[in-house]
Structure 1
Amino acid sequence: MIIGGIATTRSYKKACKTYLRMVQNIQLTGSVPKMARIDNPLIGFLEEDTRRLHHPHDDALVVTIQARDYNMHQVLVDNGSSTDILYYPTFQQMGIGRERLVPTNAPLVGFRGTRVFPLGIATLAVTVGNYPQQITKNVTFLMVDCSSAYNAIIGRPTLNSWRP
C-alpha cells in the first residue's frame, strides 16, 4: 500500500489529520439512495492472457498499457495505492525530458517503510483495452527514483476515473 501523493492533500501532516478525522467520524445520514444500474463493459481475461503464467498462481494483477506511443509492460494495478507511480528508469526509456516534470513536495509512504519524495509529476495520455472497448485518459503520475519489479503502478484515482 502506498499512502500520500497528490491525491491526498497538500501537506503530509494535514493529510494524516484529515484521514484520521475521516475514519474516526462515521455518521449515518439516512437511507442510501438506489443508483440506476449502469451496464458496464465486461472486463475479462482469455486463456491466451495466461500463456506465460505457471499454474496454480496467486500473482498480482499486472497489465500492459499504452502511455504516449509506448507499450508499457509490467504495470501493477494496485487498488491499495492512493496515487499513480511511474518509475524514473521507465520515464528515461520513454525519452521524455526531465524538464516536463512539475515539481511537488508530496511525500509517499510505503516504499521500504520510509518517506520517499518524488522527483516530480508527469501527466501522460494512457490507453487501456483494445478497440472497440478501450479508454484513453490523462494520468498524473508521481515520478519515483527507486528500483521496482514494475514500470508503473496504477492506483485508485485512475481506476476510479476509468469508470463510466
Structure 2
Amino acid sequence: MTASTSSQPINPDKPWISFLPNDYKATDRNLNDPVVISAQVGETLVKKILMDPRSSIDVLFYSTFQKMKLSEKALQPSSEELVGFPGERISIRGYIWLQTTLENYPDCKTIDIQYLVVDCKSPYNIILDIPSLNAFNAIIFTVHLCVKFFS
C-alpha cells in the first residue's frame, strides 16, 4: 500500500502561510534563539515579548506592568502560585485583561488576553502562551525567528 498525498490544504478555510528567505530575522545562523516580538498591549507598545508554544499561561511581569503605568486597582487579586521548571514557586500578584494587537503588515489582529502578573526577574516583558498564539492563528518559525498569522 502506498501513501497518497494531496495538494489540498488540511483546513481549506485557512490561507496558506509560507516563510521565504527574506523573512529570515536571525543575526547568527548558529544560535537557537527564541522568537521575540513587539506588540501593542493596552495603550503601550511592548517589546521583548516571548512567543512560547510550550507555555500554558500568559505572563505580564510586574516590572513591565509598572512601566506601562497600569493602575494597581485594575489588578484582580489571585492567591495562586506559578511553579517554574526547577520547582520554584512564584506568587501571582493578580491578573489583568488587556487588548493585545499583533501586526504583520498588511494584517493586524486584536484579542483580549488575561495576563497573570508576577513579580520576578525575566529577560522578557511578556510571555504569550499556546491558547493566545492559537487565537491569533500564529505560526512560529524558529529557524527564521519570525511569526506570521492570518486574520
The verdict on how the C-alpha distance between 1:89 and 1:150 changes in structure 2, with shifts beyond 3 A counting, is same
Residue by residue, what CA displacement relative to the aligned partner does 1:94-113 show, whole Å, maximum 9, x if unpaired? 11111110011232111652
Determine if the alignment matches structure 1 residue 116 to structure 2 residue 97.
no
- 1:87 matches 2:43: no
State how far apart, in whole Å, the 1-side matches of 2:70 and 2:103 are.
Answer: 24
Computed over aligned residues only, the root mean square deviation of the Cα atoms, in angstroms, reads: 2.3
Name 1:105's counterpart in structure 2: 79
In the TM superposition, residue 91 of structure 1 has moved relative to its aligned partner by 0.6
Give the TM-score, by structure 2 length: 0.74
Equivalents in 2 of 1:70, 1:50: separation in Å? 24
CA deviation vs aligned residue, 1:56-114 (integer Å, no higher than 9, x gap): 32101111111122211111111111100000000100111111100112321116522
Q: CA deviation at 1:43?
A: 6.4
- Number of aligned residue pairs: 129
Select the structure that is richer in helix.
1
> Unaligned regions of 5+ residues in structure 1, if any?
1-34
Structure 2 portions without partners, runs of 5+: 1-9, 138-150
Instruction: Quote the Cα distance in structure 1 between the aligned partners of 2:88 and 2:134.
Output: 27
More strand by share: 2
Q: Show CA shifts across 1:110-160 (max 9, x none).
A: 165222121000111100023431100111100000010000100012112
Match of residue 38 from structure 1: 13
Q: Deviations over 1:29-79 (max 9, x none)?
A: xxxxxx75222362647747627x233321011111111222111111111
Look up the match of 2:33. 59
